[in-house]
A and B are shown apart, each in its own frame.
Chain A
């Protein structure tokens, strides 16, 4: 395996470069996935049937907490990748762990939010609006959940194997994924919650 030392570790082998490009293309597909969900959401947002509308069920406090948690986690994983580039494994692992804890907290608040919706009579079967709302939020939440496991695996691997071209590559790709989830959340926050509450 040829290692090119003039590049950051995560780009240092041919396979690493392929992995990163492939993941960017995968993010392209993910954008289409969420775009389809958003398009369906905008189509169905006013079709509430006999159920509640967004303005009646949205609560600003949990949403703001979630936003704060996820945006901070995106910042900390940025710091983690920065630490990785400096070769400081301990700092990197700390930042990655903080990221995952913030992600876990986000997920906790989101689960609370879902319970609240079901409690006020906005379950997934209530109306077309609640179906698409919970599906869109749930798809994002499922991505975060998957990310928690994935991130944990990467932390364990870096701990055990140290920073190699492979582990650096995985960590970097994971950071791309995490930032992407953050971007999706910004759209959810703006176009689902804020627009719904206005």
Chain B
């Protein structure tokens, strides 16, 4: 395999910086599909969807991060990822994510149940469900 120049990855959230390291490849969950970014990529700004950000390191292994919505900016040899929440695969609390998923699913179910008479914010519940499912999916990536 040819030697790849490194690309610097920085991931920030409102709670602080989550990830900062050199990588050979970054795969971002863009709103229009996944984007693979390597060093010397054309400058780019993209909106991100809730999903999985994969970061390949120099030794070929991947780091997986569950990321929320936000944007990414690609500069010559740097990727800046700014999202509303992010959790590395190894740090995801699976039990908590499962509880959150069940709660969100339950709320969505109640919404369709005319007997329940509960006011459910559809958008919010869907967002919560998507976030929880995303966390669970990414959590399975841990080695």
A binds B: no
Give me the interface of B with A, judged by CB distance under 8 Å. none
Give me the interface of A with B, judged by CB distance under 8 Å. none
